[in-house]
Amino acid sequence: GDLNRLLPLSPTIFHILLSLGAGERHGYAIKREIAARTEGKLKLGPGVLYASIKKLLELELIEETDERPDPHLDDERRRYYRITALGRRAAQAEAARMQELVERAAETFGVRRHA
């Protein structure tokens, strides 16, 4: 697939892919991980979260997995997701695109990175 047709990724989509890049998660765990990683700056409501997951599934950037943790520790209604190879390439391409943009902004505006 042509990655350029997918870029730029929305911040929500990119954060979900980042979350799944570290391993399989169910929707609520994705939501919690994003809120923790962004120090509460990005809190996804259920509508935005599940509409984004649906879009990611349709684009084949993520897939639902049948593998389940220990049934005693899990709610059978939960759906688990993992990033696909295409999803990983799209996230890498988006990260590279953003890095280039940040470098251009730094050159233009003299922005320095925080240490």
pLDDT tens, N- to C-terminus, the chain (115 residues): 588 899 999 999 999 999 999 999 999 999 999 999 999 999 999 999 999 999 999 999 999 998 766 666 667 778 999 999 999 999 999 999 999 999 999 999 987 766 5
Give me the helix-helix angle, 11-21 and 27-37, nearest 10°.
Answer: 100
Q: Which tokens belong to 58? A: 């349709």
The two beta strands, 25-26 and 80-83, are: antiparallel
**What pTM value is reported for the model?**
0.87
- Pairing relationship of beta strands 62-65 and 25-26 according to DSSP bridges: unpaired
